[in-house]
Amino acid sequence: MARNKRLLLLLTVLISLGSSANLLFADESGGAGINETCPVTEGEPVDEAIYAEFEGRTVYFCCQRCRRMFLKDPGSYTARLASIPSKGHDHESDHGNAAQAPLATKDRTLRFAGKFHPVVVHFPIAMLMFSCLFAGLSLATKRRDYLIVSRYLILWGAPVTVLAALLGWSAWSQATYSGELLKTLEFHRWLGTTAAILSLVALVLSERHWRSPTLIRQKIAFISLAIVAGLVGVAGHFGGMLIFGMEYYKW
Lowest mean pLDDT among 19-28, 42-51, 219-228: 19-28
What is the value of pTM for the model shown? 0.63
DSSP H or E stretch at residue 58: strand 57-61
Q: What is the 3-state secondary structure of 153-216?
A: HHHHHHHHHHHHHHHHHHHHHCCCCCHHHHHHHHHHHHHHHHHHHHHHHHHHHHHHHHHCCCHH
Under the banding of pLDDT at 50, 70 and 90, the label for residue 4 is low
**Sequence letter at residue 49:** A
What is the reported pLDDT for 20? 47
Average pLDDT, the chain: 80
Q: Above 90 in pLDDT, residue 232? A: yes
Q: Above 90 in pLDDT, residue 141? A: yes
- What is the rounded distance in angstroms from the CA atom of residue 73 to the CA atom of residue 41? 14
Phi–psi pair at 248, nearest 5 degrees: -60, -40
Helices 215-244, 122-141: inter-axial angle, 10-degree rounding: 150
Q: Give the pairing type, strands 47-54 and 57-61.
A: antiparallel
What is the reported pLDDT for 82? 79
Lowest mean pLDDT among 18-27, 64-73, 150-159, 188-197: 18-27
What is the reported pLDDT for 234? 93
Structural class in CATH, domain 109-244: mainly alpha
Lowest mean pLDDT among 9-13, 89-93, 120-124, 200-204: 89-93
- What is the rounded distance in angstroms from the CA atom of residue 150 to the CA atom of residue 223? 13
For 231, the 3-state DSSP assignment is helix
Domain ranges of the chain: 24-101, 109-244
Q: What is the 3-state secondary structure of 68-87?
A: HHHHHCHHHCHHHHHHCCCC
Which of 25, 37, 151 has its CA nearest to residue 86? Answer: 37
Give the pLDDT confidence of 72-106 residue by residue, as tens digits.
Answer: 888 888 888 877 776 554 433 433 443 444 567 77
Give the pLDDT confidence of 50-59 residue by residue, as tens digits.
Answer: 888 777 678 8
Name the percent of the chain in helix, strand, coil, to the closest 5: 70, 5, 25
Mean pLDDT of 129-148: 95
Which of 106-115, 141-150, 176-185, 241-250 is the most confident on average?
141-150
Under the banding of pLDDT at 50, 70 and 90, the label for residue 21 is very low
What is the reported pLDDT for 31? 43
DSSP H or E stretch at residue 48: strand 47-54
- C-alpha separations of 215 from 114, 212, 227 in Å: 41, 10, 19
